[in-house]
Amino acid sequence: MSEHFDREWLGLREPVDHAARPASLADALAEWVVRVRGAHEAPLRVLDPGAGTGSNLRWLAPRLPDPQLWTLVDHDASLLDTARRDAGGERVEHLRVEDFAAAPPALPGAAPDPLLVTGAALLDLVSARWLDALVAACAARGAAVLFALSYDGRIEWSQPDPEDAALLAAVNRHQGTDKGFGPALGPGAAMHLERALERHGYRVEAAASPWELDAARPALVRALIDGWAEAAAAMEPARGGDFRAWAGRRRDAVIGDGCRLRVGHRDVLGLPPAPGRGSGAAAG
């Protein structure tokens, strides 16, 4: 995988991620777990690819019924060690250090234990082929799917700047470049997931999960703005100076002048069809 995220960046975004996520999808997922578990106390097995330091586990696990057994997968062993120490406790069953860029990681456990495949801030990095393979594996196993915080292509400001549109267009083109998985889905990731799940007969729910930022998060704001300017300049090198100047104005506007920033994300939940009904793909 070529897209690496350092510990500082993950720490900056975690509280904003948690504030953005809609509880309604977790509530629907919890109801599914209770329903499929029935009178049995089989553990919910959870696969979290791209788990990092365990932010997804920290937000989601308290909202789902126990017992839960999580398998955290990441290419960075040090991040997974942090996840076990700070987030896991008795819920973490396995840590798997894997580069899963070539193909989705193998699903843990075996039927009939209920299985959830979940991740956060991952799908906009992967290719359509990668995501289709993951959904097919989940459908074959009857696994629920919840992916959170996929960037949707929208960056909105309470105060306009003449370079906003050009910057956004360049950033969104950069989002579609190869991040190690093949051509990235970028802003289309959530919609692609919804369509793929529906083809396999899943009941799909989706909800917006935007970041709402202002001067209260100066370090995150600076990192975002500077990262966007760098990405835009990579797509249009001749305009690099314009984008760097834009970044300076935008940092000043948010941190010093009360400008607010909204970054669009989308969460998608897929609940599998009841056993025996088959998937839409198989039925067709």
Domain with residue 116: its CATH number is 3.40.50.150
CA distances from 217 to 14, 31, 124, 240 (A): 12, 35, 23, 26
Residue 257 lies in a domain: no
Q: Can you name the residues that pair with 211 across neighbouring β-strands?
A: 263
Report d(CA 282, CA 200) in Å as an integer: 7
DSSP state of 85: I
Residue 130 lies in a domain: yes
pLDDT of residue 282: 39
Report d(CA 199, CA 139) in Å as an integer: 10
Residue 89: domain span: 7-153+182-212+263-274
Report d(CA 232, CA 133) in Å as an integer: 30
Residue 79 lies in a domain: yes
Neighbours of 8 (CB within 10 A): 10
Sequential pLDDT tens for the chain (284 residues): 334 458 899 999 999 999 999 999 999 999 999 999 876 788 999 999 999 999 999 999 999 999 999 999 999 999 999 898 887 667 998 999 999 999 999 999 877 889 999 999 999 999 999 999 999 999 999 999 999 999 999 999 999 999 999 999 999 999 999 999 999 999 999 999 999 999 999 999 999 999 999 999 999 999 999 999 999 999 999 999 999 999 999 999 999 999 999 999 999 999 999 875 555 443 33
Task: Name the phi and psi angles at 9, rounded to 5.
Answer: -60, -45
Q: Can you name the residues that pair with 269 across neighbouring β-strands?
A: 146, 205
pLDDT of residue 84: 87
Q: Tokens for 180, please give them.
A: 């190690």
- 135 within 8 A of 65, measured Cβ to Cβ: no
CA distances from 14 to 161, 206, 244 (A): 28, 21, 26
pLDDT of residue 267: 99
Amino acid in the structure at residue 4? H
Residue 118 lies in a domain: yes
Residue 48 lies in a domain: yes
Report d(CA 37, CA 172) in Å as an integer: 41
Please tell me the total count of domains within the chain.
1
Amino acid in the structure at residue 170? A
Residue 30 lies in a domain: yes
pLDDT of residue 277: 55
What residues contact 283, with CB distance under 8 A and at least 6 apart?
A: 201
Q: Tokens for 238, please give them.
A: 């001749």
Residue 235 lies in a domain: no
Report d(CA 92, CA 79) in Å as an integer: 14
Residue 70 lies in a domain: yes
